[in-house]
Structure formats: C-alpha cells, structure tokens
Structure 1
C-alpha cells in the first residue's frame, strides 16, 4: 500500500485550495468512451476484479446495445470532486454529442453509479435546458448517495479497504484522506440531524454538524477544507431529464434497480476470492453450505392447502412489506422449553436440498440483484468434473436457528455426504461452508465419529467463518441489519433478526474478545462482549441473553480429523 499511496495520493495546496498529483508520476484513467475498463478493474478480466461487467453483459443481450457505440463508458479521476475535475464536463459533453450523432440522433441515457451519480448530476447542472432536452433522454442514478454515506465517514476516520478484507482498512486511510471526493460523499448536514450521532468515542460523539471538531480531534486538518469545497454540490438537481428509465431493467420489478449493486458484487467477489486452491484436489466432489440469509425461503398458509407456497426471501416486494415478512418468518420463543417454533399459521420451507440453484440465486429471476453463490458455482463448472447436483451440491437450511436446535440438519447432511460419496466412485467430499455455514459445518463435523470423517470427508473449507463472532451480528441484535438493502431502515429488520437464535451464535465471543474492548458505545455507557446481559437488559431485549447462553457454546468446536483449508 505504500507504493499505491505514494503514486495515487493527491497533494493539497492550502494557498490555492486545489490538489495535484505526485510530481514524479503521471496518473492515467484509461478507456474513455469504452466500457472495458469499468467492466473489470484489472487486465486479466478475472472475477475477483469484476465491477460493471454483469450490468454491461445484461445490456448486450439486447442486440441494440453494442459496446463503444450504443453502450459507452466514462471513467474519470474518482479521487477528485467534480468541481476540481475540470476536464470532465467538456469530455462528457463531447461523448454525449458523439454518441447522439452516431446513433441517428437518439437522445442518450446517462447512468451514474454511486459517486458517478453525483458526477452526472453536477455535469447536468452545468448544461443548458435546451442542450439537455436535445441530447439527454434520462438520468438514472444507481445507489446515488445524495444525502451522503456513513461509509465515506468511516474512510475518512478509520479507512475503508474497499472490500479487500485481507488488508487492514487503516492502511488505505492516508490515500482516502487525500481524496476530495470523500468530502463529497460524507453525510450531508443539510439532511442529517444534529441530534443524530454518527461517530461514537469514549470521550464524545460527533454528528454531521461537527466535522470541524471531529477532524480537529483526529488531526485530519484537510478534512474540513475538502468538505467546505465539495459538499456544496450535494444539492444539485436536474429538472430537464427523466429521473428513471425502465428500459434498462426488468419492467415488472421497477424497484429492483434501486438495490445496492456494489453490495451484491462485493458479496459474490468475497466468496470467489477464497475459492478452492491447490491444497485440495480439484476432482473431489463438493457440498456448499451457505451463510446467513443465503437460502431461499418459501411460506405456505396452512389453512389454504390448494395455494402454492410463495417466495418470501429473497423477494424485493416483501422487503417493502416487512410486517408480512416478520410475521411469517419470525420464530416464537418458548421460555419454558428454551426452544423456538414457527408461526403456527404458516409452513416455512427452505427448498433445493442437494442442488445449488436456490443458493446461486436467492430469487426466481436469476437476476444479478438476487445473485449469491452463482459466481462461485459457475467458476467450478468451468472444470468439466463439476456438474450441479452430482459433483457440486448445495445444502440450504433454516438459517434462523442455531445448529443445536436445527435437529434435522445433521441427519440430512449425513445422508447427502454419503450419497455424494457413493455416486462419485467413493470419493471423499469437500465441505465448503460460507459465513454462518462454516459454523454449521463445524458443528456437523463435531457430531460425527473420526472413522466416519476419515471415510467421507476430504476437507473442511470455511469461507469467512466468523469463529470469533461478528460485530455485524451485534449490530443486527441492537439496531437491525438491512442485509445491504439500503432503501429500508435497518430497524425494520430488527424484530425478525432478534427472533433468530443464529444471531446469538454469530455475536462476538467473550472467550476471544477482551472485557476492555468496548463494542457498543452510548452516551451513558459502553458495552463489551462480557456485558451482554446488561446490554440486552438495558435495550429491553429479554431473549438476547438466552440465545447467547444456548448458542455460543458451539463457537469452540474443532474438527481434527479433516484437512482444514482457510
């Protein structure tokens, strides 16, 4: 990172309030007008560095869309805010006019993702209404952070590793702090309340109205300058264009275009980055155990036996009807038996046992918005040995429950392993568990004898297994987690998540987290992993401590009889 930081960081001039590159290097953002350099961020076109390739590929399925003619790219210097990126407006003007002319004078759709949505809005503000009426058909912002993003504040204070989780986010911070675009992306004090703290510390909390104090306290002297220069552009509007265009997306799901595309890409890329390597022979059959919320869920109203079960998760419509999802999917806790049960009115179904289809996509449209493990399975199937439902299989399960209460899981997975072993010429099986699935797999292996494991299990491969617990699970239990569906307040998911004992299994484990390390900060008190009883009492989450006592005992499981590949 020292090389990247040195060559890519901008140098700030306090006299001119401008930035410039390291004088020793010329920094180039290639591919203007084409999509190749925004489809993949490296030269190998590998899945690890895929960015907008999925979107462009979907467009090119329509014969009208041809790269560098009817679908084009406008890569730019993302380090700078648009007011300082002087060439952007003139270059995009020429590109729009050229694209208009070579396509029989058809007006152009401008689709901006994330920071690109703000750049596009800034561009449109510089153009006359007459120009926009002639050349611009629609402006489509995807995940445009018009009110700012707390993630940008994280980058400015602690660093953001862009999903490259193998590196500490802190090593990216110096580079990110040099980028005025971070200021453009910060939560906007015109939209965020002064009573809503965004940064919590043991000494004080900070809202979006206290950036000057925050950046002074953390010795980030350029921070306030970037904000003053940049956030004035957050209020730009463009009245002369349509706000959304349906031709770019499936028309019967108009809301689908608003799902956070980068979150889903990051999820699939994180899985691919840890795919099987040399320690395991590629000719071993594979069973994939998915993570939390990584299985399709159907529900069926019991008093309507003639009706077919309906898809509950993932169905974008139900995300906007959270009361329905919470009612049908929440578990009911029985304090007498310390067990949970479903809503008695509904049968809850987790389909696809043995196959990969329902863990490749969490919806039924096989659209990128519902994609989960499809990239991983597709990469495996490039090897002729791997065939779905024979040599590569899936084990979707009730991810709401901790494994000790999911009684059928061990027996079902035992049969699936033995069946897969037998149909593949008695070859031992690789068990690949992602996230919560890694813990489920570990629990499963602990229930089996060493002799059984030596016969049937070639290796256990945990991908992103939260063996020490995850702070994100604590967020779900306290404030809710919206699974990346950023249009919904995380709080609307909280009741459902609090009913799930698996949340307790995923919480930071007090055997690994120090009592001196606070995880929850409030104005009154802070809480560590050793104070869950007090925390849950204070927030009136009476079932929380019960779930933890029942579930986290399984965090210390080990499996000595198989290869372990991490």
Structure 2
C-alpha cells in the first residue's frame, strides 16, 4: 500500500491544485472560449511530503528516525530544518537521492517515501491574473507540480520517477481537454518547469501533441543553462556549504544537492556558451566544454562527473530540439547577471570576482537568444515567438505588474491563434 500511495501521490495532487484566488474577491465567470491551461512552476514551487517507513535506518543521528511511523510531513521546503543546525543533517539525509548502479537510475533514500505536494504561493500573481480574465481552478486552470530532484534521462537510460511524471501530466492534459470540449491545452511554464515540459513533450508523439496541446508558453527559460549556477557548483564556503537556502539546492548540508538527478541541468552547455571562459583561474580557464574538469576540481567524485557526461549533457544538448510545437518564449532582460567568475589565486574556497552581463539575474541573455536559433530557427517549427521584457527579474516576470500583464497578453494571443 505504501508503494502504491507513493506512486499515486503526484497524480492526486496534480488533479487538485488548490487555487483559491479571486479578482478582488469577485468570482469571474468562466469563459467558454478559453483553452484550458496547465501550469508547470519553477522547482522551488514543487513542495515535497515524506514519510519514514520501518526500512529507514538513520545514519546522521538516531534522532533522525523520530518520525518513523508518524505519517506524512513536509520535506521540501522545510524552513525549520534549514535554519536549525541540529535538524539539518536529518533533513539532508532524507532529502538526498541514491543512484543505483544496477538499476542505472535514481531513487529515494531507503525507507523514505516522497510525494509531491502542490502549492500556488510563488505563482499566485499569475493565477490571480488568469482568474481575472475568466479562468477557474479545476475547470480550465490546472497545476502540475513535480519532484524537482528528478530529471529526464537520455534514450536507453531509465528514469522511472520522471516517467511517472510524464504519465501523470499526460493524463492531466487529456482530462483537462475533455472537460473543456476537447480543446487542446496551453502549457504555461516558469523556469525549471520549462525544462520538464520540453522533456515531457519530447516523450510524446507529434500526433498526440497536436491533438492535446495547442501551445507552449515558456517563461524564464533558456536553451543552455546559465553561468550563475556555477556559483553553486563551486561554492565559496568550500566543503562546508553553509548556510543553505531553499533557492540554492546544491548547498544543502552534506552535499545533498549533488545527489539529485537534476543537479546539473542548469549548467552552461557547450552548444550555447561554446569556448568562452566562464570560470577563470591562474592555472586554467574553464569553458562550458570543460564542465567535467571543473566539477572534478570542485570536489565532485569520478562517478558524479561520469553521470554528468552520460546522463545530463546528452539531455540538455538536445532538450529544446525543434519542432516542439507552437511556442512562445518570454524572458526578462536588463538585470545584472553573472557572466564570468574569476578566482585570481585559484582558491575555490575564497570569494571570487564576478563579471556581470545582461540577463534576468539567473539566466544569461545568450541562453535566451539561443532559443531563437534552436527552436525558432528550425524550418519545420510550426510557430515561434520570442518576447523580451526589460528591467525585471527571473521571478519578477510573473509577479511584477507590467511584466505579468505582458505574459497574460501572450497567453491570450496563443489562446486566440487559429493554427
């Protein structure tokens, strides 16, 4: 029963994301001319629940097993554990993933069952704006949270948990369409949600996509990762990696973040950043082609580096291949964004000098512009539009009034398109 519930939890929460926001307290009538929307949030929005079974054997401390048999509790984000040095080792141990070399796949730590809990806290502005034009939770507005620790794998390599996500999202999209006169849905994503959405679409046939998905609207997503992520991979606090924050999953105590299948998905890719020096030291300049060497220098072991080469790099290199489907990419620009990191004496434990360029604070402009080539430049791409919104940030694009208004305008344009 425990395994069944574990597998069902993501689907149960997918089908019941509780949007309770209204336009100024006024219920806006649901419009019958709107295509249903499925929202895929950024990774920090995907809250995780956990429960400890009898198989759980705490290694950090015997006290880590105090919740065994007590039911479900909040695993991510758990602000209490993040801020309590006594709880942090337990939190890190229960959050980590294990790579099984026999199964060639990631799994939860032994004795830890994890399920996805939905939340609208970081997309409430967008949700409110959509409800203000006639969308309604459970009728034509749905949410698809996910376990951000897992990621798609290259063809021929297993990714069981991501496959569960693909199956759940596929069912949600089909049901959302059925409830709305068989209108195909509009997928609206933010940040890492765009990576999961494209990974999902790549695993479904073109015929299914055209029947069930009208348009993909990706917000705050680049085609090749971002340089700011490197500051997490090469932390200035050395092996201690403190203090951890929810926005920096790689810095969780005990290097928990580096066990995630998604840990390196946002690193700069060679296809976009080429040979430009991204990390500079006295001994060597590291480009996107040198990520394996940089990871090794930063303390990642041979197996971790090998998994980057064999599982992550092939996925991110081909993730945004066209044609996906009619697509609109919306990104923020005009914000200082880390473009190069300089360790003048080669000591990764010290605070580096930083060179800034354009972007949204998390994604570089180069990664955004690459979407125009990777997706928009393919002659077989059905429809592509690129939108840049100035002077807002990676997260501000779905909270700031002027940016939010433009995002909703683009969603309505996709809704009204005749293709």
CA distance in 2, matches of 1:325, 1:437: 24
Normalising by structure 2, we get a TM-score of 0.59
Secondary structure, aligned partner of 2:130: helix
CA change 1:513–1:476 in 2 (3 A) is same
Residue 411 of structure 1 is matched in structure 2 by 167
Determine whether 1:551 maps to 2:312: yes
Determine whether 1:510 maps to 2:260: no
CA distance in 2, matches of 1:288, 1:310: 25
Of structures 1 and 2, the larger Rg is shown by 1
Residue 498 of structure 1 is matched in structure 2 by 258
Q: 2:206 aligns with which of 450, 456, 479?
A: 450
Q: 1:314 aligns with which of 77, 81, 92?
A: 77
For structure 1, which runs of at least 5 residues remain unmatched after alignment?
1-280, 353-357, 362-371
CA distance in 2, matches of 1:561, 1:336: 33
- CA shift, 1:539, in A, is 2.5
Normalising by structure 1, we get a TM-score of 0.44
CA change 1:482–1:545 in 2 (3 A) is farther
How is 1:24-423 mapped onto 2 (pairs within 5 angstroms)?
283-303=34-54, 306-320=69-83, 321-352=87-118, 358=119, 360-361=120-121, 372-384=122-134, 386-404=135-153, 405=159, 406-423=162-179
Task: Kindly indicate whether the alpha-carbon contact (under 8 Å) linking 1:469 and 1:508 is maintained by their aligned counterparts in 2.
Answer: yes
CA change 1:295–1:485 in 2 (3 A) is closer
Q: Which deviations, in whole Å up to 9, do the C-alpha atoms of 1:516-556 show, x marking residues without a partner?
A: x1222334433111112222222230203413430232232
- CA shift, 1:282, in A, is 7.5
Task: Kindly indicate whether the alpha-carbon contact (under 8 Å) linking 2:280 and 2:286 is maintained by their aligned counterparts in 1.
Answer: yes
Q: 1:540 aligns with which of 279, 282, 299?
A: 299
Determine whether 1:477 maps to 2:233: yes
CA change 1:475–1:482 in 2 (3 A) is farther
CA distance in 2, matches of 1:513, 1:483: 28
Residue 529 of structure 1 is matched in structure 2 by 288
Task: Kindly indicate whether the alpha-carbon contact (under 8 Å) linking 2:81 and 2:91 is maintained by their aligned counterparts in 1.
Answer: yes
- CA shift, 1:396, in A, is 0.9
CA distance in 2, matches of 1:302, 1:447: 33
CA distance in 2, matches of 1:561, 1:467: 13
Task: Kindly indicate whether the alpha-carbon contact (under 8 Å) linking 1:298 and 1:351 is maintained by their aligned counterparts in 2.
Answer: yes
Secondary structure, aligned partner of 2:311: helix
CA change 1:483–1:443 in 2 (3 A) is farther
CA change 1:315–1:540 in 2 (3 A) is closer
CA distance in 1, matches of 2:88, 2:273: 33
| Higher RCO, Cα 8 Å, sep 6+ | 2
CA distance in 2, matches of 1:414, 1:433: 15
- CA shift, 1:509, in A, is 0.7
Residue 156 of structure 1 is matched in structure 2 by none
Q: Which deviations, in whole Å up to 9, do the C-alpha atoms of 1:384-431 show, x marking residues without a partner?
A: 2x1112211111111111123212111111111000000111111001
Secondary structure, aligned partner of 1:504: coil
Select the structure that is richer in strand: 2
CA distance in 1, matches of 2:180, 2:306: 45
For structure 2, which runs of at least 5 residues remain unmatched after alignment?
1-31, 55-66, 154-158, 236-240, 330-419
Secondary structure, aligned partner of 2:271: coil
Aligned length: 267
Task: Kindly indicate whether the alpha-carbon contact (under 8 Å) linking 2:292 and 2:308 is maintained by their aligned counterparts in 1.
Answer: no
CA distance in 2, matches of 1:494, 1:471: 23
Q: Which deviations, in whole Å up to 9, do the C-alpha atoms of 1:239-279 show, x marking residues without a partner?
A: xxxxxxxxxxxxxxxxxxxxxxxxxxxxxxxxxxxxxxxxx
Residue 429 of structure 1 is matched in structure 2 by 185
Q: Which deviations, in whole Å up to 9, do the C-alpha atoms of 1:358-405 show, x marking residues without a partner?
A: 1x12xxxxxxxxxx1111111111122x11122111111111111232
Task: Kindly indicate whether the alpha-carbon contact (under 8 Å) linking 1:436 and 1:466 is maintained by their aligned counterparts in 2.
Answer: no
CA change 1:297–1:561 in 2 (3 A) is closer
Q: Which deviations, in whole Å up to 9, do the C-alpha atoms of 1:102-127 show, x marking residues without a partner?
A: xxxxxxxxxxxxxxxxxxxxxxxxxx
CA distance in 1, matches of 2:290, 2:219: 29
CA distance in 2, matches of 1:467, 1:494: 30
- CA shift, 1:323, in A, is 1.7
CA distance in 2, matches of 1:438, 1:490: 20
- CA shift, 1:334, in A, is 2.8
CA distance in 1, matches of 2:249, 2:42: 22
CA change 1:544–1:293 in 2 (3 A) is farther
CA change 1:337–1:561 in 2 (3 A) is closer
Secondary structure, aligned partner of 1:312: strand
How is 1:451-466 mapped onto 2 (pairs within 5 angstroms)?
451-466=207-222
